[in-house]
Amino acid sequence: TGALRRRPALRWLLEEHHTVRGRGIWVLQKSLVAKASTALAAGGRLVYATCSVDRRENEGVAEAFEESAGVDFEMWTFPEGTPGAREAPRWRHCRQMLPHVHSTDGFFMARWRRE
């Protein structure tokens, strides 16, 4: 969904784009983040990024990871003033770039550090 600004015709393909073997692509993304997190040593950093503005692919995947990761991971926040950085304490480790705000495609990023 992040590239709709440049390719508006993609909106008609979203249903196909958002499925992998009949499941929402965010199901696969949740699995990938969980598997990637197991490869990190203490102090390792995990970045989850999409070129999407879809909440299910972005905040939904980040929330699912945080629920399953427990205390092993902490939020790796962005410095204050970072373009697209969230101000709410719950989302300070996330960044959302929006076409109508940042004159770019839509992007999302969430970051964590393994303790």
**Residue 5 predicted with pLDDT over 70:** no
pTM of the predicted model as reported, rounded to 2 decimal places? 0.81
Give the mean model confidence (pLDDT) for residues 28-48: 95
As a whole number of angstroms, the distance between CA 49 and CA 62 comes to: 10
Which H or E run contains 59?
helix 59-69
Give the mean model confidence (pLDDT) for residues 26-53: 94
Pair 58, 28: CB distance under 8 Å: no
Respond yes or no: is residue 51 known to be catalytic: yes
- pLDDT at residue 76, as a whole number: 96
**Residue 100 predicted with pLDDT over 90:** no
Match 């990761």 to its residue by tokens.
69
Match 């770019």 to its residue by tokens.
104
As a whole number of angstroms, the distance between CA 13 and CA 10 comes to: 5
Pair 78, 92: CB distance under 8 Å: yes
Give the mean model confidence (pLDDT) for residues 32-60: 94
Single-letter amino acid code for the residue at 61: V
- In this prediction, residue 87 has a pLDDT band, given cuts at 50, 70 and 90, of confident
C-alpha distances (whole Å) from 17 to each of 12, 26, 34, 75, 108 are 10, 11, 22, 29, 17
As a whole number of angstroms, the distance between CA 41 and CA 69 comes to: 14
Q: Which of 47, 49, 51, 101 is catalytic?
A: 51
